Structure 1
Amino acid sequence: MAKYLFKAKLNADGLKGLLDEGGTARREVVDRMVQSIGGQLESMYWAFGDDDVYVTVDLPGNASAAAMGLVVSAAGGVRTSTVVLLSPGEIDEAVRQKVEYRAPGA
C-alpha cells in the first residue's frame, strides 16, 4: 500500500457541518470512506493555519487517492490537496537509481 497526506480547507458549508457534527463524527466518516476503497486511516488532525485538516492514509495506489480527493472535493464542503508520502526505504531505493540528467545551461 502507498501512503498519502490529504490536506483539507473547509468552506462555510464545511464549517457549518463541523459545528453541527463535531470532529469525532467527521473522523468516523473519513475512516469509513478510506476503508470502503481498501485503505486504512492512520491519523486525522485539525489544525490552525492554511489547512484545517490533515489526514494520513494507506491506500492501494494513486487511483484510490485520486478517487478519494475527487469525491470529497466534489461534495462541496472542503477543498483537498494530496501529497504522496515516501518511506525512508523508498528514498533509499530512489537514491540508488542512476538517472542521466544535464542542468539547463550546463
Structure 2
Amino acid sequence: MGYYLLQWKYKDAQVKRMISKPHNRQAMAAKAIEPFGGKLHSFFFAFGPVDGVAIVEYPDNESAAAGAMLIAGADVVESLSTTVLLTSAEAEQAMRRAGTTRHSYSAMPE
C-alpha cells in the first residue's frame, strides 16, 4: 500500500450546491476511494490555491489513478492532482540506494 496526497479545487457550481445543501464531503470522497481498495486517512478543506487536501492509501498506482479518474469524471472539481508520497523509511532507503548505486550520471558533460 502506498500513500498519496490529493489536492483539488471545486468547480463554482459545486460550491454553490454545497452552500445550498451542506453535506459531508469527506464521506462522499470515501465513496470514490474505497471501491479501489483505498483508505481515506485525512480530509481537509483549505484556503488558498486549492479547496481541499486528503491523504489516501491505495494498494498501487493503478488503483490511485482509477480513483482520481472517477473523481475527475464526476464533474465536481475544476482541478485534481495526485502526488505519490514516501514514508520516512522509504525515503531513507532511496537515499541509501542513490548513494550506493553505480552510475555515470553527471549534471554537466565532461
Alignment root-mean-square deviation, CA:
1.5
SS of the aligned residue for 1:102 comes to coil
**2:7–2:52 CA contact under 8 A, matched in 1:** yes
Within 5 Å, which residues of 2 pair with 1:26-105? 26-78=25-77, 79-97=79-97, 98=101, 100=103, 101-105=105-109
Give CA deviations for 1:7-55 in whole Å, capped at 9, x if unaligned.
0011112212322343x52111111222211111100000100000001
Q: Which residue of 1 is the match for residue 14 of structure 2?
A: 14
Q: Which runs of 5+ in 1 are unaligned?
A: none
Q: What is the percent sequence identity of the aligned residues?
A: 31
Deviations 1:50-83, CA, capped at 9 Å, x for gaps: 0000011110111111111111112211021011
Is the contact between residue 36 and residue 64 of structure 2 (CA under 8 Å) also seen in structure 1? no
**8 Å contact kept, 2:4–2:84:** yes
How many Å separate the matches in 1 of 2:64 and 2:90? 18
Residues in 1 aligned to 2:44 and 2:83: alpha-carbon distance in whole angstroms? 15
Q: How many residues align?
A: 105
Return the index of the structure with the highest Cα Rg: 2
1:7 aligned counterpart, secondary structure: strand
Q: Which runs of 5+ in 2 are unaligned?
A: none
Deviant stretches of 4+, over 3 Å: none
CA contact (8 A) 2:41 2:54 kept: yes
